Amino acid sequence: MSAVAKAFHTPMSSATNVLGGLAAAVHGAVFGVVKAAVDRAGATGYRAITHESPK
């Protein structure tokens, strides 16, 4: 690998790793919000039908 290629590879590799970590964090946050919304809607529907709190 030439010196120029190595000079470009290292920062690009680091930037790619950082972007991958950010993408994973965003994915986890979106998953958590959607899961909470689905659980909440399910509990609300259960409560509306049975007039009891889900356990």
- Any residues with CB less than 8 A from the CB of 29 and at least 6 apart, and which? none
Longest dimension (CA), the chain: 71
Convert the pLDDT of each residue in 9-54 to its tens digit: 999 999 999 999 999 999 999 999 999 999 999 999 999 999 999 8
- For the chain, which residues make up each domain, given as ranges? 21-55
The pTM of this model reads 0.71
What confidence tier does 1 reach under pLDDT thresholds 50, 70, 90? confident
CA distance 54 to 52: 6
- Any residues with CB less than 8 A from the CB of 47 and at least 6 apart, and which? 53, 54
